Amino acid sequence: MTEEAEHGSGGVYSVEGKEFNRDSRYITTRIVAAPRPGTDDRPVEAGRYRLIAAYACPWANRAIIVRDLLGLGDVISMGNPGPTHDADSWTFDLDPGGVDPVLGIHKLKDAYLKRFPDYPRGITVPAIVEEATGEVVTNDFAQITEDLFFEWRGFHRADAPDLWPAGLRDEMEQVMWRVYTEVNNGVYRCGFAGSQEAYDDAYDRLFTALDWLEERLGRSRYLMGEAITEADIRLFTTLVRFDPVYHGHFKCNRSKLTELPNLWGYARDLFQTPGFGNNVRFDQIKAHYYVVHRDINPLGIIPKGPDLSGWETPHGRGSSGNKTQ
Distance, CA of 122 to CA of 13 (rounded, Å):
9
Residues with a catalytic annotation lie at 57, 188
Question: According to the annotation, is 59 in a ligand binding site?
Answer: no
Edge-to-edge order in the sheet of strand 2-6: 2-6, 13-16, 19-22
| Residue 10, number of CB atoms within 10 A of its CB | 25
Q: Binding site: residue ranges?
A: 90
Q: Binding site for glutathione: residue ranges?
A: 90
